[in-house]
Amino acid sequence: MDEHALSTRKTKPVLLKLRSSKWLIGFTVFVAAFNDGFGYGAVVPVLPFSLVERSGVREKDVQFWLSTLLVAFGLSLTVAAPITAWAGDKLGNRRMPMILGSLLALVGTAVFCVAEAPWLLVVARLCQGASNGAVYSAGLPLIADTVSPDEVGSWMGFVFSGMTGGFLVSPFLAGIVYAKAGYFPVFILVFAALAFDLFLRIIIIEKKTMARFISDEGPRQRYKARPNESPPRLRNGSLTGNNHYESDRSSGSSTVNGADSDEPPKAKIPATSGSKFNPAFWFRNAFPRMATLLSSPRLSAAVYGCFTYGTVICSFDAILPLFVNRTFGWDSQGVGLIFLALTVPALAGAAFGAVSDRYGPKRVSLSGFAIASVSLALLAFVRDDSNIAKAGLTVLLFTLGTGMNLILTPLAADMLYEADIIEEQNPDVFGDAGTYALVYSFLCAAFGLATSVGPAWSGFMFEDINWAAAMVSLVAFCLLGGVGVFFYTGGAEAGKRVGLDEHV
């Protein structure tokens, strides 16, 4: 039953409060994110071997097809993200795109299960990538619509711990199952997880739908400024010390008083003049919502930081199985086990989110970039088949995973904080649809591009040069990602705003 049908009913749906609670909605998005990681990661330790055994791919072409499948997944995710965001705004709910995404995941997994030809595996990966667009472009805005502003970081950390938790268990389980029972039993695990996910997506009820039945328990209402009204001040009227926002509604800009504030500058769209065709002016008028958001350096820095995260993680999906197979002689079971070291830190995702809420996205994410860069640099020295090398690889993958999770959760929350500021300053641009779906479609597109760029680049560096060169290039990615965060990402007061009514 869709949201429109629910909203036109005169009687309350069964278990209305439970089905619309933030706990069930949050758990549903967590499971959706888990299946995103689970479905993606289950085939990572299997493909290097099944491509040869089932698909007849020559050993020297395995890296090419591994990268191709990852690139197909990423490109599909990139294209599907804005479509899902648009559909959620057009339909007026986030739940239906998530249900359709779940059905598409089932189709893609079924094709992957029975297909042998490599091109059919690419088709299956395209379906899976498109389905995952719903997790970020519909699921994350659903979380933002449901929880209070002070809880955003913790809930985002919880959701992303689901995604990386899926990465955590799927290579481990799939590697063991494939080694012991073969190819098809691997997909029994995936189908079971997808079925439970679909059930949860069907039964939840959005807050705005619940509000039609219970007038005093509506959704969290985001602040909407009127044409001549200034945006609200921050909680306790301050940022850091005695600084506070002052807005000039006539010019559409805002400033921060005080030299010590680490709150970044706000979005501005540059003025244009003259009669000649100006691509930027055309884009601003054709796509005003997107142009307004992309003009924010703070939002752009967060998107690029998430792109860096995805690039590094997906690079290891492409080259780590081959590296440990060629260097240590490990089979699919060993590949699955080594991925545990990289993904175990994801279990602390909610804790990382809470730390970000307390100390601000900038400090936490910069710490993550520093830890990840050092870990990648040291991984370049893991080269021979020795116990010291195996132990060093395990420890460094664990520290790398810790750094990566310190990057993702704070930046995903900071995107939301900046989106609220931009919407308050441009109420006529966004209307009732708001900014959340579009903002998180950027996040989804960043992940999609990273899934394409990471495997293609690292696969090239690994095959044409060596493992050390691949690691050094990823260090450069991390350092570039940290530059924008250093200059533009919000500080400790980033999410503490009073323009948002906390949801009960």
Quote the tokens at residue 17: 């409060």
Query: Distance between CA 410 and CA 319 in Å, rounded?
Result: 27
> Residue 281: what pLDDT?
72
Query: Distance between CA 315 and CA 65 in Å, rounded?
Result: 14
125-140 pLDDT, tens digit per residue, is 888 888 887 777 778 7
Selection from 317, 316, 314 nearest residue 452 by Cα: 314
> Residue 8: what pLDDT?
53
Selection from 48, 187, 69, 208 nearest residue 144 by Cα: 208
Query: Distance between CA 70 and CA 73 in Å, rounded?
Result: 5
**Mean pLDDT split into 10-residue runs, the chain, 504 residues:** 54 81 89 83 77 84 81 83 75 80 89 87 88 78 77 74 74 77 82 90 82 56 38 34 35 40 46 59 72 85 90 86 88 79 79 82 92 94 89 93 87 83 80 70 81 85 90 92 87 48 38
> Residue 169: what pLDDT?
74
Is the alpha carbon torsion for 488, 489, 495, 499 positive or negative?
positive
> Residue 330: what pLDDT?
85
Asked whether the whole model's pTM tops 0.75, one would answer no
> Residue 405: what pLDDT?
85
- Cα-only R_g, the chain: 23
> Residue 189: what pLDDT?
80
Please give the C-alpha separations between residue 147 and each of 29, 221, 460, in angstroms, as whole numbers. Answer: 13, 11, 43
Selection from 440, 433, 437, 432 nearest residue 415 by Cα: 440
454-496 pLDDT, tens digit per residue, is 888 888 899 888 999 999 999 999 999 889 899 888 755 554 5
> Residue 491: what pLDDT?
59
Query: Distance between CA 149 and CA 221 in Å, rounded?
Result: 11
> Residue 365: what pLDDT?
92
Helix (H, G, I), strand (E, B) or coil at 179: helix
**H/E segment holding residue 253:** strand 253-256
Selection from 194, 202, 216 nearest residue 93 by Cα: 202
Q: How many CB atoms lie within 10 A of CB 469?
A: 15
Q: How many CB atoms lie within 10 A of CB 486?
A: 12
Which residue type does 156 have? M
Is residue 336 within 8 A of residue 174, CB to CB? The reply is: yes
